[in-house]
């Protein structure tokens, strides 16, 4: 939907993005204390934006160095949109809603201390990840990731990402906008991710707002690790509790190799 008085700079729709529209889209910025998103230009408009937790300096410089060195000893597989990846997790067919352990041998050894540290945070109490996905971004490859919502059939309430090697921005987007606040077009919120920080998405930021990383926000090599927990369907009392218990046991061995 066009905003009156604004001239379209491109023809991108939906999740499609080009450099012109990435540069032209206005963003709001979150305030973690007030759980509101504001414009930086002083415009008074703001709106509730809950569901994002930022933990700065989650890693030390030495831990970051150790993690990257360990990852670079393993193979980085080519992925979409100029990224490379390493997967530690079950084999999943999201369309058919099927999951199985396959070659999953656990999360990597160095992640054990990170998961224990995560669980010390009140909002991450009981967090037991069964998947870790490492992604390598580089500006020379035009690395990015389109705005998307993570699956909620297998993956649970909290998505946890550790950002390494460089600062970046996680762009949260709401395509239908907030018409009740006079914002009928797409609304973007720019979540700053400092180097060695951890970010948690939950609630509306997990289930309503799409998240992505734009090309313009990858200025140098960036590596991130995203950890995902199981949904209620795979926990005790759920339909697939037996499979969930199996995956949790494998993940907690912390003896995994990339699949």
Q: Is residue 2 part of a domain?
A: no
In the predicted model, what is the mean pLDDT of the chain? Answer: 91
Give the per-residue pLDDT at 45: 72
pLDDT of residue 7: 40
For residues 124 and 160, give the distance between their C-alpha atoms in angstroms, rounded to a whole number: 9
- 33 lies in a domain? no
Q: Is residue 37 part of a domain?
A: no
Check pLDDT > 80 for residue 16.
Answer: no
Residue 213, pLDDT above cutoff 50: yes
**Cα atoms in the Cβ-side hemisphere of radius 13 Å centred on 67:** 26
Q: Are residues 143 and 82 in contact, defined by beta-carbon separation less than 8 angstroms?
A: yes
Q: Total structural domains in the chain?
A: 1
Structure tokens belonging to residue 65:
């160095």
The CATH number of residue 69's host domain is 2.60.120.590
Would 22 be classed as within a structural domain? Answer: no
Q: Does the structure show a pLDDT above 70 at 11?
A: no
pLDDT tens, residue by residue, 66-120: 999 999 999 999 999 999 999 999 999 999 999 999 999 999 999 999 999 999 9
Q: Which range of residues forms the domain containing residue 221?
A: 51-251
- CA neighbor of 131 nearest in space, from 247, 227, 244: 227
| Residue 196 CB burial class (10 angstroms; 0-12, 13-18, ≥19) | buried
Q: pLDDT over 90 for what percent of the chain?
A: 82
- What pLDDT sits at residue 47? 92
Structure confidence at residue 6 (pLDDT)? 37
> Does 110 map to a domain?
yes
Does some domain include residue 42?
A: no
Check if the beta carbon of residue 225 is closer than 8 Å to that of residue 163. Answer: no
**Mean pLDDT to the nearest integer, 32-57:** 86
pLDDT on residue 24:
47
Quick check: is 224 in a domain? Answer: yes
Q: Is residue 12 part of a domain?
A: no
187-193 and 27-31 beta bridge pairing? parallel
């Amino acid at each position: 939907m066009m905003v009156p008085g604004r001239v379209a700079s491109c023809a991108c729709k939906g999740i499609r993005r080009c450099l012109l529209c990435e540069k032209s889209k206005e963003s709001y910025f979150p305030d973690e204390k007030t759980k509101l998103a504001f414009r930086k230009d002083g415009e008074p408009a703001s709106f509730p934006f809950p569901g994002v937790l930022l933990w700065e300096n989650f890693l030390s410089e030495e831990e970051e160095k150790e993690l990257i060195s360990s990852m670079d000893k393993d193979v980085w597989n080519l992925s979409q949109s100029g990224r490379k990846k390493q997967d530690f997790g079950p084999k999943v067919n999201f369309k058919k809603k099927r999951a199985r352990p396959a070659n999953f041998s656990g999360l990597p050894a160095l992640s054990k201390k990170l998961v224990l540290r995560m669980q010390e945070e009140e909002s991450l109490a009981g967090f037991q990840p069964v998947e870790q996905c490492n992604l390598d971004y580089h500006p020379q490859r035009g690395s990015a990731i389109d705005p998307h919502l993570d699956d909620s059939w297998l993956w649970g309430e909290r998505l946890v990402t550790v950002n390494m090697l460089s600062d970046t921005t996680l762009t949260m987007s709401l395509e239908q906008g907030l018409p009740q606040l006079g914002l009928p077009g797409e609304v973007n919120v720019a979540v700053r991710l400092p180097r060695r920080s951890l970010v948690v998405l939950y609630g509306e930021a997990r289930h309503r707002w799409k998240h992505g990383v734009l090309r313009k926000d990858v200025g140098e090599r960036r590596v991130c690790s995203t950890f995902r927990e199981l949904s209620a369907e795979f926990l005790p009392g759920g339909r697939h509790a037996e499979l969930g218990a199996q995956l949790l046991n494998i993940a907690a061995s912390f003896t995994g190799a990339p699949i």
